[in-house]
Every structure is written in structure tokens, then in C-alpha cells.
Amino acid sequence: MQLSFKRPSILPGFWPAFSYSVLYLSLIVLVPLSAVFLKAASSSWAHLWKTITSPNVVASYRLSFGASLVAGLISVAFGFLVAWVLVRYQFPGRTAVDALVDLPFALPTAVAGIALTSLYTENGWLGHYLTPLGIKVAFTPLGVVVALTFIGLPFVVRSVQPVLADADQELEEAAVSLGANRWQVFSRVIFPLVRPALLTGFALAFARALGEYGSVIFIAGNMPMRTEIAPLLIVTKLEQYDYAGATAIAAVMLITSFLLLLGINALQRRTRSFMDVS
């Protein structure tokens, strides 16, 4: 049995390392996570259904999915632009700019949340100019989109950058020598190459945005039915000791994220095979 499970090797330490990894993985991740599904399964279906179809939960799902979608699309547009400039052009401070792209990964979400809120309130640095134009960002769904774009941008840049850097420049030169103009080269040669990476970046940004909490709750204002995101409702239910209700909302979100994660993995396999071919 041992032989069929593991290919023999002279390297030591497989069994201790393997057993420790599996044990630790189970204790920290798998067992606690299964609590969600066991809790959901042990609650009455009527209660679960009532929770996830109640108007404020439906409204929060709509906001969370809608804002994540919009933020993901904005991240794709700006992320592509940033990746393009970083890979193809030389300008002073390029290394520093490249490092700054990761700031949303490194900055604690609560810090991002209060900083963004202070910028976009009526007398904030940006809100100050936007309010006279009739654009309200803080404490509206637009504010949620702004926070989620901040969070999502690096995912797109970091997905697209390596693909763009690896793109074979001979393809481009060939297209030019065959008489293609710049726009044709871009739309027929470069864009098809980076499309899978853009999609991966979008999916990663979207998945992260769905569950995001810290950077959103400050700028959202958390008005019932209008600017409450789904993760906030989970927190509210937990504070009211409605564990079954919180679990129901969480189960829907977990299933969605896992489906997304599977999709992302499939996409990345495709991206890789694409890069191998090119």
C-alpha cells in the first residue's frame, strides 16, 4: 500500500512532514471550515431559506455581487493599463511604481478603509471637488465600488504583467512587417495573448471583493437595504447570536467563492498552456 501511494525516494522525512502537514491543515483549516456546513446542515431548511431570501440579505447580495463586478471591470481596465506601461515603457521611478502596485496587499484593510473614507467625504480632498458636481462617493454604493477597486487593482496588474513580459516580440514584429498597423497589432496579436490573464485577474479581484470587509465598512456607511454588504450582515447576525442565520449567508458566499476558485484554477491552466504554445 505504501508503495502504491508514494513513489520510493532516498530522500528522508516524507512521513513526518506529510503527516504533520495533513494534521495541521485539518486542525487549522478543514475542521473549522466544516463547522459552517455542519451548522448549516443541522439547522432547519425553512430557517435557512427564510434567512437568505429576506429582503435585506437579498439587497446585500445584490450590492456585494454588483459592486464587486463593477470594481472588477474597472480594475481590469486600469490594471491592464498599468501593467502595459510597467512592462513596455521605461520611465524614471519605474521600480518604485512597480513596488507601490502591491500597496493594497500590504496595507491593513481597516487603514485603507478610513483613508479612503476621509478622501471622499464631503469635505475630503476628493469629495470636496466631487460634491459640487453632484457625485457622492462616501456612504453610497459608489463608495463600495471605490474601496473594492483599490483592493482589486493589484490582482489584475500581477496577473497580466508576466504574460505581457513573456509575449513574444517576434510575433509583433512579424505582424508589423506583414503590414499591420499599431491598432491591428494590438487587437489581433497582443490582446488575444493577454486575454486569459485579464480574465484570471478579474476573477481573483472579484473573488477577493466579494468577501472584503475592512476597507468597505467605513466608506459604505452601512445603511440597511442600501449600503450593507453581505459580510457585514454576517457580523451583525453573529452579534445577535443568530449563528444559523450567519451560517446561511456564509454558506452561500463560500459556495460561490469555491466555484470561482475552481474557475480560476481552470483558467490558469489554460493561460499556462497558452504561454507554453506561444
Partner 1 sequence: MATAAPALVLTGTKSTVAKLDPPLVRWGLTLLALLSLGLFIVLPLVAVFVQAFEKGWRAYLAAVQDPNTLSAMKLSLLTVGIAVPLNVVFGVAAAWTITKFNFTGKNVLVTLIDIPFGVSPVISGMIFVLMFGAQGWFGSWLADHDIRIVFAVPGIILATTFVTFPFVARELIPLMESQGTEEEKAALVLGASGWQMFFRITLPNIKWGLLYGVVLCTARALGEFGAVSVVSGHIRGETNTLPLHVEILYNEYNYSGAFAVASLLSVIAVITLALKKFLEWKTAQEDK
User: Which of the residues 22 through 81 are near partner 1 (CB under 8 A)?
Assistant: 22, 24-25, 28-33, 35-36, 39, 78, 81
Q: Does 177 bind partner 1 (CB under 8 A)?
A: no
Nearest to 123 by CA among 107, 110, 136: 136
Q: What DSSP letter does each residue of 77-98 carry, written as one string?
A: HHHHHHHHHHHH---TTHHHHH
Q: Does 162 bind partner 1 (CB under 8 A)?
A: yes
Q: How far is the CB of 66 from partner 1 (least distance, A)?
A: 17
**Binding test (CB under 8 A) with partner 1, winner from 52, 59, 119, 142:** 119
Q: Count the residues of the shown chain that bind partner 1, applying the rule CB under 8 A.
A: 108
The CA distance from 208 to 104, in Å, is 12
Q: How far is the CB of 132 from partner 1 (least distance, A)?
A: 18
- Of 63 and 101, the one with the shorter C-beta distance to partner 1 is 101
Stretch that binds partner 1, among 48-56, 65-73, 109-117, 132-140 (CB under 8 A): 109-117
Neighbours of 186 (CB within 10 A): 14
Asked whether the beta carbons of 237 and 249 are under 8 A apart, the reply is: yes
**Binding test (CB under 8 A) with partner 1, winner from 48, 137, 138, 185:** 185
Asked whether the beta carbons of 141 and 228 are under 8 A apart, the reply is: no
Q: Does 135 bind partner 1 (CB under 8 A)?
A: no
Asked whether the beta carbons of 69 and 207 are under 8 A apart, the reply is: no
List the interface residues with partner 1, window 224-263 (CB under 8 A): 231-232, 234-235, 238, 241, 243, 246-247, 250, 253-254, 257-258, 260-261
The CA distance from 195 to 177, in Å, is 24
